[in-house]
Structure 1
Amino acid sequence: MISIVSPVYRAEKILPKLVREINTMMQKLNTDYEIILVDDRSPDNSWEVMKNLAGFHPALKIYRLSRNFGQHAAIMAGLSKATGEWIVVMDCDLQDQPKEIEKLYLKALEGYDIVQASRVQRKDGQLKKLSSRVFYKIFNYLAGIKINNEVANFGIYHKKVIRQVLNVNDYIKFFPLFINWVGYRATTVDVDHQERDEGKSSYSLGKLISLAFNVIVSFSDKPLKLFVNLGATISLISFLGGAWVFIKTLRGEISEPGYSSLILSIWFLFGVTFMCLGILGVYLGKTFNQTKNRPVYIIDEE
């Protein structure tokens, strides 16, 4: 059994072609399969189209979230319903081509638990490609891991991998990061990446920045440690400045004694305060992440 999971948002015109091409590909593979579409409370007519398609395609299972929770939460909802030994995750906009599932599956049969699609020639806009490169460079530095910006959600994953991904309790969900984090034997395969079949991406620049900030803060405490280092650096500089002023005072080169030492002491205390707040922030951030227990998604209809 192979499960194909796809989050849906603003895709009413794309869905019939998506389901048709997946069916064609899976019949070629001659294996049992299910298609799981999760409507992330799309404001268009996607849900009605999905219900209509489900009436004609017995392999199609559809779910609708109670509100818009975001792409990665919708992916998690779909993964929780998948029953296949292998699970394919792909976007619904047909930039991820269903015909490439065969290539991913055959590679997985060579002994890999994770086979991700590498978009060597991305057909996204220049802004999206640039923002993606910048995000992953910053994230890889802050998180201390390496994620390839040519790899996104599209790939095939063994059920044991998905089981562990679903066990990751972070409230902020980011599927490619979780796949990287859980480990297992992984590889990538070059695939054909197409332009969006209809409409445009729902990720605006503001949403991309917000997602990047939330993921970095959720997964890494390095930004807090940077503030600790900043505070320590400021304190060190102010201490050295104080020693320099003290020497200048002994030499009689300070015409207005007291002013320089006052300013330096303010900067010193500011640095110490900054450092202490950073240390407290590390522990508060860890505690905060552990105590959050809100549901990541709510399924309204199925």
Structure 2
Amino acid sequence: MISIVSPVYRAEKILPILVSEINLVMERIGEDYEIILVDDRSPDNSWEVMKVLSSQNPKIKSIRLSRNFGQHSAIFAGLTKTKGDWVVVMDCDMQDQPKEIAKLYKKALEGYDIVLGQRENRKDKFLKKLSSKLFYKVFNYLSGGQFNNEIGNFGIYKKKVIDSILNINDYIKFFPLFINWVGFKSTSIPIEHSSREEGKSSYSISRLLKLAFNVIISFSDKPLRLFINFGLGISILSFILGIYYLYLAVTHRITQPGFSSLILSIWFLSGIIISCIGIVGVYLGKTFDQTKNRPTFIIDEEL
């Protein structure tokens, strides 16, 4: 069996098309399948549409979260309900083309545990592509990863891969990072990427940067190490300048005390100290969130 999981948000008009195309593709593949749609508490009528679709097709399982938990938490909610030997994760906006599932599955049968779709001729708007590229630049630098901004969530994953990432108890959920971390035999193949059929992306530049920050703080200690290195650099520079000014004082080359430079130095170092305390505080806050062990999603209804 193949399970297809798709998080749903503002997709009331596109859902019938998505489901119809998935049905056509899966009938051609010839494998048993299930479609799991997860409503991330969309403000439109997506849930009403999902209820109708589930009543018409027993292969469709509809899940509604109690509030908006975010795309990645919605994905994980769907993953907990999968029964298939293979799991496909895809967006609901039809930019991930259902017809590409056949290509991903065929490649997976060559012996891969993970097959990711690499988007060719990405059909997003300029600002969307720019924000995505910026997100992964920042993310790769601070996390030490090598993530390709042309690869998203769309891919096919063996059941053991899904079981492995569901066992990761991190409070901050980021599906591509977990897939990268668990390992297994993986590859990527070029897939067709389409323009958005309806609405606009919920990920603005600011929201992408916030996501990157939260994931990096949750998964990497590099920001702390950067501040340590920066602090050491400031200390070395201060020591060198101290030797230099001592030399000037001994040789009577200082004619006027530098009051303004002293104040600026104090302000500068105070700012660095406050920033360091802030970073440590953020890490402590994330650790506190983790220890509370709150669920990352709550299911309200299932059909």
| TM-score normalised by L of structure 1 | 0.92
Counterpart residue number, 2:16: 16
Instruction: Report SS of the residue matched to 2:37.
Output: strand
Q: Which residue of 2 aligns with 1:130?
A: 130
Report the secondary structure of 2:237's partner residue. helix
Amino acid at match of 2:242: G
CA distance in 1, matches of 2:14, 2:268: 60
- Structure 2, unaligned stretches of length 5 or more? none
| Aligned residue identity for 1:38 | V
Say yes or no: does 1:111 pair with 2:111.
yes
Deviations 1:140-164 (A, max 9, x none): 1111121111100000000110111
* TM-fit CA distance, 1:112: 0.2
Structure 1 residue 148 and structure 2 residue 152: aligned?
Answer: no
Residue aligning to 2:101: 101
Counterpart in 2 of 1:38? 38
Would the alpha carbon gap of residues 274 and 225 (structure 1) be closer, same or farther in structure 2, given more than 3 Å must change?
A: farther
Counterpart amino acid of residue 50 in structure 1 = M
2:254 is matched with which residue? Answer: 254
Give the percent of matched residue pairs that are identical in Structure 1 and Structure 2.
Answer: 67
Aligned length: 302
Q: Distance in 2 between matches of 1:40 and 1:167?
A: 22
Q: Which residue of 2 aligns with 1:214?
A: 214
Q: 1:264 to 1:246 in 2, by over 3 A?
A: farther
Structure 1 residues 268-279: aligned runs within 5 Å: 270=270, 273=273, 277=277
Aligned to 2:291: 291
What is the CA distance between 1:256 and its match in structure 2?
A: 4.0
Stretch of structure 1 that moved more, 94-103 or 235-244? 235-244
User: What is the rounded CA distance, in whole Å, between the counterparts of 2:202 and 2:271 in structure 1?
Assistant: 42
Aligned to 2:171: 171
By how many angstroms is 1:127 displaced? 0.8
Residues 231/111 of structure 1: CA separation in 2 closer, same or farther (3 Å cut) = same
Q: Which runs of 5+ in 1 are unaligned?
A: none
2:114–2:157 CA contact under 8 A, matched in 1 = yes
Taking a change above 3 Å as real, the CA distance of residues 282 and 301 of structure 1, as seen in their structure-2 partners, is closer
CA shift digits 1:173-196 (9 cap, x unpaired): 111111111110000011111011
Q: How far does the alpha carbon of each residue in 1:30-55 deviate from its partner, in whole angstroms, 9 at most, with x for none?
A: 11110000000000000000000111
Give the AA of the match of 1:13.
Answer: K
Larger deviation: 259-268 or 239-248? 259-268
* 8 Å CA contact 1:231, 1:275 repeated in 2: no
* Deviations, residues 244-263 of structure 1 (Å, cap 9, x unaligned): 11111110112245859966
Q: Distance in 1 between matches of 2:70 and 2:211?
A: 10
The letter for the 2-side match of 1:100 is E
Structure 2 residue aligned with 1:204? 204
What secondary structure does 2:224 align onto?
helix
Whole-angstrom distance in 1 between the partners of 2:295 and 2:20 = 33
The amino acid of 1:207's aligned partner reads R
Instruction: Measure the CA separation in 2 of the matches of 1:287 and 1:214.
Output: 12
Distance in 2 between the 1:195 and 1:259 partners?
60
Cα 1:257–1:182, aligned 2, differ >3 Å: closer, same or farther?
Answer: same
